[in-house]
Amino acid sequence: MTTRRGRLRLLFVDDVPANTRVLVETLQQEYDVMIADNGPFALKIAAENPQPDLILLDIMMPGMDGYEVCRHLKDNEATREIPVMFLTALLDEEDEAQGLALGAVDYIRKPFNVSIARARIKTHLDLKQHRDALQRKTAELKALNARLEKEIQDREKTEAMVQEHLAYLQQLIREHAFPSSPRDRASGESLSDEHD
* Domain co-membership, 137 together with 150: no
**pLDDT tens digits for 15-60?**
988 888 888 998 999 999 999 999 999 999 999 999 999 999 999 9
Burial of 32 by CB count in 10 Å (0-12 exposed, 13-18 middle, 19+ buried)? Answer: buried
User: CA 162 to CA 93: how far, in whole Å?
Assistant: 71
Question: Where are the extended beta strands (E) located within the chain?
Answer: 9-13, 32-36, 54-57, 84-88, 106-109
Give the H/E segment covering residue 79.
none
User: CA 74 to CA 71: how far, in whole Å?
Assistant: 5
Q: How many residues does the chain have?
A: 196
Full domain range(s) for residue 117: 9-141
* Domain co-membership, 49 together with 106: yes
Q: Is residue 126 part of a domain?
A: yes
Evaluate whether 56 touches 20 at the Cβ level (below 8 Å). yes
* Domain co-membership, 151 together with 137: no
> In this predicted structure, what is the pLDDT of residue 72?
96
* Domain co-membership, 35 together with 95: yes
Number of domains, the chain: 2
* Cα-based distances in Å from 77 to 41, 87, 126, 187: 18, 23, 22, 85
> In this predicted structure, what is the pLDDT of residue 4?
58
Q: Is residue 1 part of a domain?
A: no
What's the sign of the alpha-carbon dihedral 131, 54, 22, 112?
A: negative
* Domain co-membership, 130 together with 151: no
Give the H/E segment covering residue 15.
none
* Domain co-membership, 102 together with 154: no
pLDDT in tens, the chain (196 residues): 445 567 999 999 999 888 888 889 989 999 999 999 999 999 999 999 999 999 999 999 999 999 999 999 999 999 999 999 998 888 888 988 999 999 999 999 888 888 999 999 999 999 999 998 998 999 899 999 999 999 999 898 989 888 888 888 888 888 876 555 555 555 555 555 555 5
Q: Is residue 190 part of a domain?
A: no
* Domain co-membership, 131 together with 72: yes
* Domain co-membership, 156 together with 132: no
User: CA 114 to CA 108: how far, in whole Å?
Assistant: 11
